[in-house]
Amino acid sequence: MSEIDEILDKAMRELREEGLNPDLLLVGPDFLRYSAEVLRKYSGTLKIYKIEELGFDAVIADSSFLGQIRRASRRISIEPLFREREMWEEFQKLEV
């Protein structure tokens, strides 16, 4: 899933541009299910924890500043990707 990789990479880049060091990734079970392959790439640089309450979302953060400053993390969701994909699949079925 290159889209998920792009989303994670963008969030990490934004944090680095603000002088932070993203080293923590909290993922929901649905996020994990659809991105397990992509997350292997980040397992060496990020500590990854599964949090049930996040669902399709993930939070990438600098653990040194998490909870201290608002900009120390980014919350991302992959649910819109899958909703859009489902919609296009339904359209394709109608065209046939």
CATH of the domain at 67: 3.30.2320.10
Q: What is residue 69's predicted lDDT score, i.e. its pLDDT?
A: 84
Summarize pLDDT for 48-96 with one digit per residue, the tens: 999 999 999 999 999 999 888 888 999 999 887 777 777 777 767 776 5
Q: Which domain holds residue 39?
A: 2-95
The whole-model pTM stands at: 0.81
48 within 8 A of 39, measured Cβ to Cβ: yes
Domain tally, the chain? 1
28 within 8 A of 53, measured Cβ to Cβ: yes
